[in-house]
Structure 1
Amino acid sequence: MDKAILWTLLLIGVVLLFFGVRKPFIKDTLLVFLLSAYFSTFIGVFVVEEKMLRYPVRFLSEYFEVSILYEYVLFPVVCMYFFQTTRHSRYIGIALQCALYTTALTIVEVLLERYTDLIEYNTWNWIYTFISNFLLMIVVRILVHLINKRERWLENDRREV
């Protein structure tokens, strides 16, 4: 049953990725996807190596100790949608939407931890998940905003020359 849940989550993640990559914002969307996958890998490896949590049933279990499905597909896809829905939001709107997305992710993780063998908390708990996901989503959002701001600034300098 647990493997079926993992395959279902993979299918959901791939479908959401397919529909989430929109033509006008493809650069930003892919940048958010790749940055969130990159940074979540460091957190995931640290948490697993420190034995704060473990994944008894894993996707591609013979190769990875971490949850590659979450770190390389599901979390980046959620970050992608978060970025798209907050593209023109103010700071308070960004923070509130980030809290909503993070709450949804945390609830799903807690349910998976309680009712399946996909996640097992040792010293980890849902508060750490909420805080780390919230901060990571905000950091990625800020980084992409700064990259876009710098790109516009460089574009304006080129026009002046």
Structure 2
Amino acid sequence: MSKEYIIYIDEIILVIILLFRFIPKDKIREAHVAYLFKLLMTCSVGLAVAEFRLIEYPIRFFPYAIKANFLFEFFLYPAICAIFVVNYPEKKRTLSKFIYYFYYCTTLTIIEIIEERYTDILTYIHWNWFITWLAFFVTFYLSQKYNKWFFKK
């Protein structure tokens, strides 16, 4: 088994543990809505990025069916977004909210940079780390605002 598939398995296990740890039972509905909204965005944007060869995924699940990284676009990223939205510091100051965004976006970007440089999980073609960070920020922002609107009382 290649190191890429070991990384995939580790990421799956880690995200499942994080889901059970950081999503309270009383917020499972919010997590589902955040997951599905993020899935809608990553499905369209992730497929477009792969189709236009901005990023290439040399080793992926379902290589004949989809050019995007199925695991990341359809499970890992939406699940992390669900954790992000459910734990969003709604009543904190603006600086705290920005730090929350910055922490999530930067952590995910660093992981992606490491995977891009040292594995065959992805290869930047017409892409860079700043576009990744910005995409994370915008999609997290849209997901959080959508959930806030959806569950408005």
Query: Structure 1 length as normaliser, TM-score?
Result: 0.85
Percent identity of equivalent pairs: 26
Structure 1 window deviating more from structure 2 (135-144 vs 4-13): it is 4-13
- Name the residue aligned to 1:38: 40
Cα separation, partners in 2 of 1:97 and 1:106, compared to 1, 3 Å: same
RMSD (Å), alpha carbons: 1.5
Structure 1 spans left out of the alignment, 5+ residues = 153-161
Q: In the alignment, is the contact (CA less than 8 A) between 1:14 and 1:73 conserved in 2?
A: no
Structure 2 spans left out of the alignment, 5+ residues = none
Q: In the alignment, is the contact (CA less than 8 A) between 2:23 and 2:86 conserved in 1?
A: no
Distance in 1 of aligned mates of 2:149 and 2:29: 14
Decide which of 105, 118, 126 is 2:108's aligned counterpart.
105
Task: Give the structure with higher Rg (CA).
Answer: 1
Cα separation, partners in 2 of 1:75 and 1:29, compared to 1, 3 Å: same
Structure 1 window deviating more from structure 2 (136-145 vs 17-26): it is 17-26
Distance in 2 of aligned mates of 1:22 and 1:30: 12
User: How far apart are 1:19 and its partner, in Å?
Assistant: 3.4
Structure 1 window deviating more from structure 2 (35-44 vs 6-15): it is 6-15
- Name the residue aligned to 1:127: 130
Give runs of aligned pairs for residues 61-140 of structure 1, distance below 5 A: 61-88=63-90, 89-140=92-143
Paired positions, count: 150
Distance in 1 of aligned mates of 2:62 and 2:123: 17
- Name the residue aligned to 2:146: 143
Query: Structure 2 length as normaliser, TM-score?
Result: 0.90
User: How far apart are 1:92 and its partner, in Å?
Assistant: 3.4
